[in-house]
């Protein structure tokens, strides 16, 4: 015990002694002198070179004068301790002092197509008047195609017809897959074969793209440069209209701003620019580093790179812009806090950045354990905004916008790996995850808001807002389990809101919980939730309840797909049928509004369907295949004087049959209004498509599921032809589960339409702040919440929260020339002219109120109707457009659209 006390006292004495001899050193590039002592502002050193000669001790401070620029790289090997860190900061008032790796180039003389200077060292990047120039490349735009890959260490390129040796020393920039670019030096170029100096991470993908750069032979167009390292010459072709003598041409020369192998370091209120590799780089297994209140701009690779590992790192309140690679990265982060950073434009220039592999992120926890990434504002990133491996991390209150701008298959937030578990993703806002497939063979980009890759488990995804991705809002991939997804709002993501996808048959994703989420889609191609499994029994959820499934443009809330030995099966579910199938979502709700994406304003062509009313026969219709169905003429009373009865007789769960119309021509620029009536012996679904009659049997623009009800249902659906085709057919397909369906009134008419903006009908409210806020609505518009209640003139949002309100406007619309339907109002003429009255036929007389709205939800006119079936309403001097008429009394309400054409 006495010995322990002795050592504690000795340690305290040593720390106090260290503090007693601590010193402060001052640097001024404008007024300093390296012969000074450097220990007072008036005797400051001038250069970083002089600083590097000084041995630093725990407790020392190094202060750079505000508003001045220092060219150099700080080499730091001394460490502080828990009581006396080494501090780097600023003194005096003014802008942050800047540590730069830029050297301004001058003394230009003409050379061939451009200019040259020898006033330089090895150059890794050039910025002209603040804008990045392109290193000389071939071709100048676009990509060459990898026709003949040679495993992972070369490409045979028969279209490169230059002489042997022509491309040696150049760099190949290869889109090796959707996740990255890889850079390799051309070791030899012989007989049209490019041989790399080192192998790629995987085999080159055939037909992907690549280009060549960093070769004087490719310097042939505006805004390019090249550096000949053997002669220290820089060659440049400036943009049009630029006079180099008056321009600022900055070359990235020095690799690092601060290069350190140390612990207990504080770097505060400094600016970094132009480093040819990293602005701040720690090469050691480091701990207790604070980097705060700094700015980083135009860094070729990373702003902050903890190369091996960092424990108890604090990266706070920094502004980072225009990094060529990941902005903040480490191989291992432990107990690290990354908070309140503003990160812009990361990794956006293929070929500029890391000189080996480019898959740039704003924040990369390559292996993170018990880290917190909080309240960062991230905009415009090459790949995912934040990636994380390992466990126990918190990613919360981040605002992430425009991810995956140059790469694909990423997300705003991505989690990877079997050791990634117990991470909390909470209160984040993730917008506009775009995706980029340039140089790949992919047809369209695929991105996500939050992506949990294979093998992740027991993570919590709670209270996030995700919108406008080019894929799904949330992806849960293969062999995940034990996740909680709660109180998230996914809005208007291109393919849908949540996707569970697993190709594994033995250990598929399971035991996940989905509660109190709002899944809101803005067109009928988006799916609120989609389950894709390898087998019929794929069920990734152990609990699924109290969710809102909202798609005003689709009839179905849940889609499920699985593979069999012979084919794939897809099944849509209404919320009611999903409850019956899954025993889940008993308290969940669906959208209480239904809209069409557009409204017909006029017919512009003739009826395309021959014999769609089936009054006497079903001529011009056939079935396929021929051996598992029956087509009969019927007179079901709920139809209109004749219909067809289609019976599917095969009981296999993967079989189907269809009725097929006679052929008609399709125009690729034309909108079509499809109308039909159905009824069945039980609730189910059918699938309709327009398809070519001959090979290659392309879909022609219609591909849509419709529900089947035991009562008659009348449908309208608008679609645009994909391209011109002289003979296509309309199909209606049913399967064994829905084996008898009645059809009537099948029509397909070319129309002109008015398309409304779905984002104005369903309005997303967001509050990305730590305080509650109230959002006020326009005085002439009414909104309802997702339960159908009027929300008044404003809506209150809590901190870091969001909600969707719905315009109080008519619910369901049909085509322009629709027939009167029982228990519906009928307007004529429709379309009408603004200088006349319109007439309103009511299903029963009574005293009714009417309200007329425009499509923005603004009430244009209101009044009382006479106690009669037929009333007139003046529309004199109304502007042309589509209006929404609502007629109502106590206990009764109808709505219909009115088109006014001047």
> Is the residue at 334 inside a domain?
no
Same domain, 780 and 742: no
| CATH code (residue 671) | 2.60.120.260
DSSP 8-class letter at 777: P
Same domain, 143 and 39: no
Per-residue confidence band for 780, with pLDDT thresholds at 50, 70 and 90: low
In the chain, % of residues over pLDDT 90? 71
> Is the residue at 367 inside a domain?
no
> Is the residue at 812 inside a domain?
yes
Please tell me which residue, 594 or 440, carries the higher pLDDT value: 440
As for how many domains the chain has, the answer is: 4
Q: How far apart are the first and last CA of the chain?
A: 99
In the chain, % of residues over pLDDT 70? 94
What residues contact 179, with CB distance under 8 A and at least 6 apart? Answer: 359, 383, 407, 408, 409, 410
**In this predicted structure, what is the pLDDT of residue 368?**
87
Q: How many angstroms separate the CA atoms of 68 and 409, rounded?
A: 43
Q: Tens digits of per-residue pLDDT, 550-572? A: 999 999 999 999 987 667 889 99
Mean of all residue pLDDT scores within the chain: 91
> Is the residue at 432 inside a domain?
no
The DSSP element (H or E) to which 372 belongs, if any, is strand 372-374
Same domain, 126 and 235: yes
Region 424-445 average pLDDT:
97
Q: How many angstroms separate the CA atoms of 31 and 68, rounded?
A: 10
**In this predicted structure, what is the pLDDT of residue 244?**
93
Q: How many angstroms separate the CA atoms of 27 and 38, rounded?
A: 7
| CATH code (residue 862) | 2.60.40.1930
Same domain, 738 and 638: yes
Q: Tens digits of per-residue pLDDT, 487-535? A: 999 999 999 999 999 988 888 999 999 999 999 999 999 999 999 998 8
DSSP 113-169: TEEEE------SEEEETTEEPEEPEESSSS-EE-SEE-TTSEEE-TT--SPTTTTTT
Q: Are 865 and 872 contacting, i.e. CB atoms less than 8 angstroms apart?
A: no
Same domain, 177 and 244: yes
Same domain, 86 and 232: no
Q: Tens digits of per-residue pLDDT, 159-193? A: 999 999 999 999 999 999 999 999 999 999 999 99
Opening angle at CA 217, ends 145 and 405, nearest 5: 45
Q: Tens digits of per-residue pLDDT, 707-731? A: 999 989 999 999 999 999 999 999 9
Same domain, 745 and 853: no
* Domain span holding position 236: 103-250
Region 612-636 average pLDDT:
91
**In this predicted structure, what is the pLDDT of residue 10?**
43
Same domain, 694 and 779: no
Same domain, 123 and 246: yes
Same domain, 743 and 781: no
Same domain, 739 and 796: no
Q: How many angstroms separate the CA atoms of 45 and 29, rounded?
A: 8
> Is the residue at 338 inside a domain?
no
Same domain, 47 and 128: no
| CATH code (residue 78) | 3.30.1910
Other C-beta atoms within 10 Å of 147: how many? 12
Q: Tens digits of per-residue pLDDT, 242-253? A: 999 999 999 999
Q: How many angstroms separate the CA atoms of 378 and 340, rounded?
A: 10
> Is the residue at 682 inside a domain?
yes
Q: Tens digits of per-residue pLDDT, 134-163? A: 999 999 999 999 988 877 889 999 999 999
Region 242-271 average pLDDT:
97
Last residue of a domain, one of 220, 250, 280: 250
> Is the residue at 354 inside a domain?
no
> Is the residue at 382 inside a domain?
no
User: Which pTM does this prediction carry?
Assistant: 0.88
Last residue of a domain, one of 91, 118, 146: 91
Last residue of a domain, one of 755, 789, 819: 755
């Amino acid at each position: 015990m006495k010995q322990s006390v002795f050592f504690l006292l000795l340690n305290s004495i040593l720390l106090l002694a260290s503090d007693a001899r601590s010193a402060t050193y001052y640097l001024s590039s404008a007024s300093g002198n390296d012969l000074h002592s450097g220990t007072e502002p008036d005797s400051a050193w001038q250069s970083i070179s002089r600083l590097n000669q000084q041995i630093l001790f725990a407790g020392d401070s190094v202060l750079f004068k505000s508003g001045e620029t220092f060219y150099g790289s700080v080499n730091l090997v001394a460490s502080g301790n828990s009581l006396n860190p080494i501090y780097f900061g600023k003194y005096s008032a003014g802008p942050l002092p800047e540590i730069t790796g830029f050297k301004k180039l001058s003394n230009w003389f003409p050379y061939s197509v451009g200019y040259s200077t020898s006033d330089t060292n090895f150059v890794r990047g050039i910025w002209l008047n603040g804008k990045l120039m392109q290193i000389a490349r071939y071709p100048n735009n676009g990509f060459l195609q990898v026709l003949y890959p040679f495993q992972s260490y070369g490409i045979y390129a028969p279209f490169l017809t230059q002489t042997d040796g022509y491309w040696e020393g150049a760099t190949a920039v290869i889109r090796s897959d959707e996740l990255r670019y890889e850079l390799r030096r051309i070791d030899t170029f012989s007989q049209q074969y490019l041989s790399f100096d080192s192998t790629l991470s995987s085999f080159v993908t055939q037909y992907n793209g690549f280009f060549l750069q960093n070769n004087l032979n490719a310097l042939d167009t505006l805004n390019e440069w090249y550096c000949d390292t053997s002669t220290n010459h820089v060659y440049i072709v400036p943009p049009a209209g630029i006079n180099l003598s008056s321009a600022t041409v900055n070359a990235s020369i020095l690799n690092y701003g601060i290069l350190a192998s140390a612990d207990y370091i504080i770097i505060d209120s400094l600016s970094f620019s132009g480093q040819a590799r990293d602005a701040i780089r720690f090469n050691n297994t480091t701990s207790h580093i604070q980097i705060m209140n700094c700015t980083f701009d135009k860094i070729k690779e990373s702003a902050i790179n903890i190369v091996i590992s960092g424990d108890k790192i604090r990266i706070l309140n920094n502004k980072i812009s225009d990094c060529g690679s990941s902005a903040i990265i480490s191989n291992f982060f432990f107990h690290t806090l990354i908070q309140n950073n503003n990160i812009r434009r990361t990794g956006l220039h293929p070929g500029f950045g890391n000189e080996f592999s480019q898959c740039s992120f704003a924040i990369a926890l390559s292996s993170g354990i018990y880290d917190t990434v909080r309240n960062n504002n991230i905009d415009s990133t090459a790949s995912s905004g934040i990636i994380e491996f390992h466990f126990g991390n918190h990613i919360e209150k981040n605002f992430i916008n425009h991810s995956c701008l140059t790469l694909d298959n990423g997300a705003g937030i991505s989690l990877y790996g079997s050791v990634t578990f117990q991470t909390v993703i909470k209160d984040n806002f993730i917008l506009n995850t775009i995706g980029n497939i340039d140089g790949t063979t992919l047809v369209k980009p695929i991105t996500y808001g939050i992506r949990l890759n294979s093998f992740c488990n027991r993570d919590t995804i709670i209270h996030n807002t995700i919108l406008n991705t080019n894929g799904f809002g949330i992806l849960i991939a293969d062999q995940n389990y034990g996740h909680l997804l709660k109180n998230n709002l996914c809005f208007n993501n291109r393919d849908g809101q949540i996707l569970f996808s697993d190709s594994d048959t033995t250990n598929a994703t399971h035991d996940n919980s989905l509660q109190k989420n709002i899944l809101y889609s803005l067109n009928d191609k988006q799916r609120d939730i989609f389950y894709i499994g390898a087998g019929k029994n794929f069920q990734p959820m152990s609990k699924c309840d109290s969710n809102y499934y909202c798609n005003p443009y689709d009839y179905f809330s849940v889609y499920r797909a699985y593979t069999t030995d012979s084919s794939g099966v897809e099944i849509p579910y209404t919320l009611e049928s999903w409850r019956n199938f899954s025993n889940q979502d008993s308290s969940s709700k669906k959208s209480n509004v239904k809209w069409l994406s557009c409204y017909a304003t006029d017919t512009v062509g003739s009826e395309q369907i021959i014999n769609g009313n089936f009054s006497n026969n079903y001529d011009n219709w056939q079935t396929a295949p021929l051996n598992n169905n029956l087509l009969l003429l019927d007179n079901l009373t709920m139809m209109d004087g004749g219909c067809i009865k289609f019976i599917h007789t095969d009981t296999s769960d993967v079989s189907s049959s269809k009725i097929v119309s006679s052929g008609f021509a399709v125009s690729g620029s034309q909108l079509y209004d499809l109308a039909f009536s159905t009824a069945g012996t039980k609730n189910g679904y059918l699938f309709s498509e327009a398809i070519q009659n001959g090979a290659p049997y392309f879909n022609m623009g219609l591909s849509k599921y419709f529900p089947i009800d035991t009562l008659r249902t009348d449908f309208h659906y608008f679609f645009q032809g994909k391209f011109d085709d002289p003979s296509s057919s309309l199909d209606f397909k049913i399967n064994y589960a829905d084996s008898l369906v009645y059809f009537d009134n099948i029509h397909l008419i070319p129309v002109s339409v008015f398309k409304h903006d779905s984002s104005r009908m369903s309005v997303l409210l967001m509050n990305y702040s730590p305080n509650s806020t109230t959002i006020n609505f326009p005085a002439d518009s009414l909104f309802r919440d997702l339960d159908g209640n009027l929300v008044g003139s404003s809506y209150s949002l809590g901190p870091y929260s969001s909600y969707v309100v719905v315009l109080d406007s008519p619910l369901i619309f049909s085509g322009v020339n629709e027939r009167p339907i029982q228990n519906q109002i009928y307007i004529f003429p429709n379309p009408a002219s603004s200088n006349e009255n319109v007439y309103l036929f009511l299903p029963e007389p009574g005293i009714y109120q009417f309200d007329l709205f425009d499509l923005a939800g603004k009430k244009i006119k209101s009044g009382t109707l006479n106690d009669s079936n037929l009333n007139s309403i003046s529309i004199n001097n109304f502007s042309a457009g589509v209006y929404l008429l609502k007629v109502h009394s106590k206990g009764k309400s109808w709505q219909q659209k009115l088109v006014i054409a001047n």
